[in-house]
């Protein structure tokens, strides 16, 4: 079991740190990637080091990918390499968990048509326009895809993510 | 199983939010208390609502107490009601978990003599002066007492806390 968190500057700190520390609690090896390798800073000022750039990601290496929210997804969704990776993760059936604005990346990658998901309130229309069956729930699980809305959903989000690591 | 988190303004956000959401993930009922009931704000700007004041805490109601770090402990350790509560938790053998500057409250309550514990580096001398067997480890467990040093220790801190909830 190996996990990957992909984010960028202005991530929502709790949506990054809580999954990250939770996976380490489970002793799951967890890589951090961003557009470029180096330090990224959250909206609340927490700093984390992305050891990998997007170009260094081997999509076959991971069993679980987490996409935190904040403003990071609006940068990541414009990155073609990011979108290619997302399509590869979906093709391989790798578990992908996105919270808050994280699902915006999935919209841009074109992987949500016909899928069930949730997201931050203001992103809901985008999901529907992408052919996604949106619902306003704390967590939505549809096969390999796990989505949540806001930091307060993190307990339910993590409960479902951890289940995927036990399969 | 019922848990209590006691903190105050200027808490270290990750040391509050990560235990809080982790306990909720486990479906453990978790109360939040502060010097007065109401909203408290972390060093990084996260806000949480303390439904209880220290005077409203019934120490017999809890199986686990968490003391996050940051600057909150320096206010809490000056509060006589807080110190009385800590002594009651220790007398009852309730699990007490403190991280970073959190153990300062235990020093002021006089409960660390002869006990094994860790804490934030700059607090170590205080622990030793209080007769505590300090060691520089990610987590130290001594009976009912669980202590850690810094946010990066949260995976190990939470692993030991969750074990206590399963006993």
User: Domain count of chain B?
Assistant: 1
Percent of chain B with pLDDT over 90: 99
The DSSP secondary-structure symbol of B160 reads H
Indicate if B44 belongs to the active site.
no
CATH number at residue A43: 3.40.50.880
For residue A128, the model assigns a pLDDT of 98
**How many residues would you count in chain B?**
167
Three-state SS string over chain A comes to CEEEEECCCCECHHHHHHHHHHHHHCCCEEEEEECCCEEEEECCCCEEEECEEHHHCCHHHCCEEEECCECHHHHHCCCHHHHHHHHHHHHCCCEEEEECCCHHHHHHHCCCCCCEECCCHHHHHHHHHCCCEECCCCEEEECCEEEECCHHHHHHHHHHHHHHHCC
Verify whether the Cβ–Cβ distance B46 to A14 is below 8 Å: yes
Query: Tell me: the pLDDT tens digits for B97-140?
Result: 999 999 999 999 999 999 999 999 999 999 999 999 999 999 99
Strand bridging mode A95-99 / A64-67:
parallel
Query: Does residue B167 have a pLDDT over 90?
Result: no
User: What residues of B are in contact with residue A151 (Cβ under 8 Å)?
Assistant: 17
User: Residue B17: which of A18, A156, A159 has the nearest Cβ?
Assistant: A18
For residue A167, the model assigns a pLDDT of 80
User: Residue A22: which of B22, B24, B156 has the nearest Cβ?
Assistant: B22
User: Residue A13: which of B25, B44, B162 has the nearest Cβ?
Assistant: B44
Query: Tell me: the pLDDT tens digits for A44-92?
Result: 999 999 999 999 999 999 999 999 999 999 999 999 999 999 999 999 9
- On whether any CB of chain A is under 8 Å from the CB of B48, the answer is no
* Inter-chain contacts counted by CB atoms under 8 A, chains A and B: 54
The segments of chain A whose pLDDT lies below 70 read: none
Write down the pTM of the prediction.
0.97
Verify whether the Cβ–Cβ distance A21 to B46 is below 8 Å: no
- On whether any CB of chain B is under 8 Å from the CB of A161, the answer is no
Domain range holding B149? Answer: 2-165
User: Which candidate, B160, B74, B62, B52, places its Cα nearest to that of B123?
Assistant: B74
Strand bridging mode B47-50 / B133-134:
unpaired
User: Which candidate, B21, B42, B61, places its Cα nearest to that of B161?
Assistant: B21
Phi first, then psi: give them for residue A23, nearest 5 degrees.
-65, -40
Cβ(B80)–Cβ(B105) below 8 Å: no
Tell me the HSE value of A20 on the side-chain side, using a 13 A CA sphere. 25
């Amino acid at each position: 079991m190996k996990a990957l968190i992909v984010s960028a500057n202005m991530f929502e700190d709790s949506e990054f740190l809580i999954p990250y520390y939770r996976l380490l609690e489970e002793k799951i090896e967890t890589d951090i990637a961003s557009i470029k390798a180096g330090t990224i800073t959250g909206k609340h000022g927490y700093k984390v080091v992305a050891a990998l750039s997007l170009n260094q990601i081997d999509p076959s290496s991971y069993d679980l990918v987490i996409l935190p929210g904040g403003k990071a997804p609006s940068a990541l969704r414009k990155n073609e390499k990011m979108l290619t990776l997302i399509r590869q993760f979906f093709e391989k059936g790798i578990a992908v968990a996105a919270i808050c604005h994280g699902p915006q990346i999935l919209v841009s990658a074109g992987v949500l048509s016909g899928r069930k998901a949730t997201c931050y309130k203001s992103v809901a229309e985008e999901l529907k326009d992408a052919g996604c069956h949106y619902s306003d729930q704390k967590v939505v699980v549809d096969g390999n895809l796990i989505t949540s809305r806001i930091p307060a959903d993190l307990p339910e989000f993590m409960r479902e993510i951890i289940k995927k690591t036990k399969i």
